[in-house]
Structure 1
Amino acid sequence: MSFTAILFGAIFGFTAIILGAFGAHLLKKKLTAEQLQSFETGVKYQMYHAILLLALGFQLNNEITIDCYIINTIIIGVFLFSFSIYGLVLSSANNKKLKFLGPITPLGGLFLALGWALLIYKYSYLIII
């Protein structure tokens, strides 16, 4: 069991609900349709990976190196991907776009993809056997 994965899954799930409601109700009047869609993309990816972390938390073990890599890459990926999107959208809505966040979003996506790839690698031996 990985308490780290469970804890971050719960934190990401909780904050995705709060940010989703914030976007749907408070930001709807302030953001363009494109900005709102980007914000919602960040929330969706955060929630998808919150659920993944919760599931992995009951399957993976913090004492196994590859399991730690899987969990850590997903946690880092969510932070970089979703939170950079939130920063980009909110800063551009205030006419102070934080352009340095632009390259961080795809880096976060790369970390998320790496987490999934490590998960495939971890269980690919089952196909061979």
Structure 2
Amino acid sequence: MTSKLIIIIGSISGAISVILGAFGAHALKDSLTASGRLDTYETAVKYQMYHSLALILLGMLMLQFQHKFLNYASYLFLIGMVIFSGSLYLLCATGITKLGAITPIGGLFLIAAWVLMAIGVGKTAL
């Protein structure tokens, strides 16, 4: 992926997380509170925003540093966000608790992305 595309995707994902956060705080608050899933929903929104910002940072880093691990990290961030936050959003929407078992897989992708980003920058000459 190009650095420009990564920054665009991160920006769009950040906007979506703000929209979903506002939707959860207003339109869904009563149902999320009644189901005991408000904290779960907030976690999904927070992690989506954190990793949207990580994608923007990664895209900016790629303007200065070129390493294949940075590109790999971009894919892992995207996959991790979809699996981690997506599984939590689905859990909140459907109440299917088995979806919670998928969430840690997304977390592993996110951890791997952070590690690859560090290695990718570390392996490049300053």
Same fold (TM over 0.5): yes
1:103 corresponds in structure 2 to: 101
Matched, 1:123 2:126: no
Matched, 1:20 2:18: no
Match of residue 79 from structure 2: 76
Q: CA deviation at 1:15?
A: 0.6
How many Å apart are 1:98 and its aligned residue?
6.1
Aligned to 1:50: 52
Displacement of 1:125 after TM fit? 4.8
Q: Distance between the aligned counterparts of 1:124 and 1:68, measured in 2?
A: 14
Pairwise CA distance, 1:102 = 2.5
What is the letter of the counterpart of residue 24 of structure 2? G
Q: Structure 1 residue runs of 4+, over 3 Å off?
A: 123-126
Q: For the Cα contact (< 8 Å) 1:87–1:98, is it kept in 2?
A: no
Following superposition, the deviation at residue 31 of structure 1 comes to 1.5
Q: Distance in 2 between matches of 1:119 and 1:64?
A: 9
Q: What is the CA–CA distance in structure 1 between the aligned matches of 2:45 and 2:56, rounded to whole Å?
A: 16
Task: Compute the displacement of 1:75 (Å).
Answer: 0.7
- Structure 1 CA distance, aligned partners of 2:7 and 2:122? 24
- 2:88 pairs, out of 81, 85, 88, with 85
State the TM-score, normalizing by the size of structure 1.
0.84
Deviates more, 1:109-118 or 1:63-72: 63-72
Unaligned runs of 5+ in 2: none
The aligned length equals 122
Structure 1 residues 80-109: Cα deviation after superposition (integer angstroms, max 9, x where no partner): 0001100001111xxxx263x222211100
Per the TM alignment, residue 72 of structure 1 is displaced from its structure 2 partner at its CA by 0.5
Aligned to 1:32, what secondary structure does the other structure show? helix
Q: Which amino acid aligns with 2:113?
A: G
Identity %: 43
Q: Which runs of 5+ in 1 are unaligned?
A: none
What SS does the corresponding residue of 2:32 show, helix, strand or coil?
coil
RMSD (CA atoms): 2.3
